[in-house]
Structure 1
């Protein structure tokens, strides 16, 4: 089997397609959660903390070099505010995924808990048939 046909067989399998769909949906979900954090959750937190924008928090290690009003060399800084923002994003995404998985598992448990109607055995089918024949028989 050639490498190209082997790759084609691999790529067409349902697992790869499902994975590709999951990646695209995951990226879109990440964008939604990022917007939720940046546009809805962080502004009230900024108001509570006195207008602090977490993304602007940093520890300046060296000052930028400026000549004639233009920045010649950027200053070195530790941007811990971006790190805090990323942690908050992660926690919210993890909470959202946890909630979705929990809801799906709950629905699956309810589905599994529903009693399935048992299939009759051969003996039960035969007895049912005999009963029906006796019931439908005309008296002598």
Structure 2
């Protein structure tokens, strides 16, 4: 179950999945702006031009208020998504840094069994005492 959760986390936090989710949310918020524009700005203008309806000042103010509210909702949604993605990216970078540190912890030196000095892990002969190390390791 742990492996499944880790795989799902890796899938969900990949860049293209997050980008798609942000696109859907921003798109739905922008749909609110377009709807408010058509129902509260364009439709009343067409109604007045065609003579279908006359509006009072209060109704016109209500239309303007509804459109401004939709624009504000869009910007609030965009701000929340921006902050959320910034936090997710920060957490991902911290996680990547930890993984790099763990990988760097692999040993690069070993101790010579004869003179106890540190030598390269791939050395077959100690540079200090010139002992053959392959015989000891096998």
TM-score range, shorter chain: 0.3 to 0.5
TM-score by length of 1: 0.39
TM value normalised by structure 2: 0.40
